[in-house]
C-alpha cells in the first residue's frame, strides 16, 4: 500500500538526487580554481629571516664602526644570512613564476608597479646624497676653508678613469637593451650574447672603480668632501654589483629556457634597474667628478 503510493514519485526523487549530486561535483571541481587572477602566496619564512638579518647587519655594522668586540663576526654572519635568505626567497619566486604558473598578467602588473616603486625609493636615496653634496659644496663651511674642494684635497681628474667608466657603463646600457630587443623578437642566441657583454662590462666597471679608490689621494675620513664622494660612488658601486647579479640570474634563466619572448618579468626588472644605475652614474659623474672638482 505504502510502496504503491511512493512508486509514482521515485523518478522525480531520483532526478532530484542526481541534480544535487551533479551540483556538488561541479562545486567541488570549481573549488579547485580561484575566481580571480591574483596570486595568494603561501606562508614563507624568508621575509622574516631577511628582515631580521638586515636588522642585524645594520646594528653590527654600527657596532663595528665604534670598535665593539666581535662586531665584525656578527656583521659577516648577518651578511651571509641575508644572502642565503634572499637567494632562497628568489628561488621560490622563480618556481612560482616559471613552473607553477602563478604569475598571471594581473600579478605581473603588480610586480612591475613594485619594481617601479622600488626604483623611485632608490632615486630618493641618491637624491639625499646629492642634497648633502650640494649643501656642503655651494656654501662651504669655515672649517672647510670656505672653498670646495677643501684645501689640501686633490680631486680626481674627471677625464681619466671616471670618463672611461662612463663610456663602459653607457655601453653596457646599450648591450642590455640590445639583448632585450632580440629576446622580444625570439632570437635567443643574440640575447645571450648581449647579456653576456653587459655582465663583462659591469665587472670591468667595478674593477676600475676599485683601482680608482686605490690610487685616490683622499679617503672617506677626509671631511665632508671625502664622505660625500665615497658615500655616493660607493653606494652606486654596490648597486652595480647587485644589478650585475640580477642580470647574471637573467642570463642563466634565458640559457635554461625559463624565460620566453612574452614572459620575462624578472629580466625586465633587472633591465629597468640597470638603466636606473646608468642615470645615477651620469649624475655622479657630472656633479661629483666634473663640477665638484
Instruction: Give the chain's end-to-end CA distance (angstroms, integer).
Output: 111
Cα dihedral: 91, 92, 98, 104 (round 10)? -140
By C-alpha distance, which of 52, 55, 49, 42 is closest to 93? 42
Per-residue model confidence as pLDDT tens digits over 150-165: 887 888 888 989 999 9
Burial class (CB in 10 A: 0-12, 13-18, 19+), 143: exposed
In this predicted structure, the answer to whether residue 167 has a pLDDT above a threshold of 80 is yes
What is the pTM for the complete model shown?
0.81
By C-alpha distance, which of 149, 185, 156 is closest to 261? 185
Residue 118 has which C-alpha cell? 622600488
Listed in order, strand segments (DSSP E) in the chain are none
The string of DSSP letters for 180-230 reads: HHHHHTT-HHHHHHHHHHHHHHHHHHHHHHHHHHHH-S--TTSHHHHHHHH
By C-alpha distance, which of 95, 204, 229 is closest to 150? 229
Per-residue model confidence as pLDDT tens digits over 76-134: 999 999 999 999 998 998 888 888 888 888 888 998 899 999 999 999 999 999 998 88
Per-residue model confidence as pLDDT tens digits over 232-253: 999 999 999 999 999 999 999 8
Q: What is the pLDDT of residue 156?
A: 86
Element (H, E) at 265: helix 265-284
Residue 205 has which C-alpha cell? 666597471
Q: Which among 136-140, 205-209, 217-221 has the top mean pLDDT?
A: 205-209
Amino acid at each position: 500500500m505504502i510502496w504503491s503510493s511512493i512508486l509514482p514519485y521515485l523518478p522525480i526523487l531520483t532526478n532530484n538526487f542526481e541534480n544535487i549530486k551533479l551540483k556538488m561535483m561541479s562545486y567541488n571541481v570549481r573549488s579547485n580554481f580561484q575566481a580571480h587572477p591574483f596570486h595568494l602566496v603561501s606562508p614563507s619564512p624568508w621575509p622574516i629571516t631577511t628582515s631580521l638579518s638586515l636588522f642585524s647587519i645594520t646594528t653590527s655594522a654600527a657596532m663595528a664602526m665604534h670598535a665593539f668586540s666581535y662586531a665584525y663576526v656578527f656583521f659577516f654572519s648577518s651578511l651571509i644570512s641575508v644572502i642565503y635568505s634572499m637567494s632562497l626567497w628568489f628561488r621560490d619566486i622563480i618556481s612560482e613564476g616559471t613552473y607553477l604558473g602563478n604569475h598571471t598578467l594581473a600579478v605581473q602588473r603588480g610586480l612591475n608597479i613594485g619594481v617601479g616603486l622600488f626604483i623611485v625609493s632608490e632615486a630618493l636615496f641618491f637624491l639625499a646624497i646629492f642634497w648633502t653634496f650640494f649643501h656642503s659644496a655651494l656654501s662651504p663651511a669655515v672649517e672647510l676653508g670656505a672653498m670646495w674642494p677643501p684645501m689640501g684635497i686633490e680631486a680626481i681628474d674627471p677625464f681619466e678613469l671616471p670618463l672611461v667608466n662612463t663610456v663602459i657603463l653607457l655601453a653596457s646600457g646599450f648591450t642590455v637593451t640590445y639583448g632585450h630587443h632580440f629576446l622580444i623578437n625570439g632570437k635567443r642566441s643574440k640575447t645571450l650574447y648581449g647579456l653576456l657583454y653587459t655582465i663583462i662590462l659591469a665587472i670591468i666597471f667595478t674593477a676600475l672603480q676599485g683601482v680608482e679608490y686605490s690610487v685616490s689621494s683622499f679617503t672617506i675620513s677626509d671631511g665632508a668632501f671625502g664622505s660625500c664622494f665615497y658615500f655616493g660612488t660607493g653606494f652606486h658601486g654596490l648597486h652595480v654589483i647587485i644589478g650585475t647579479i640580477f642580470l647574471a640570474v637573467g642570463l642563466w634563466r634565458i640559457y635554461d629556457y625559463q624565460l620566453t619572448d612574452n614572459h620575462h618579468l624578472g629580466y625586465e626588472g633587472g633591465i629597468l634597474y640597470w638603466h636606473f644605475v646608468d642615470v645615477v652614474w651620469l649624475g655622479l659623474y657630472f656633479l661629483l667628478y666634473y663640477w665638484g672638482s
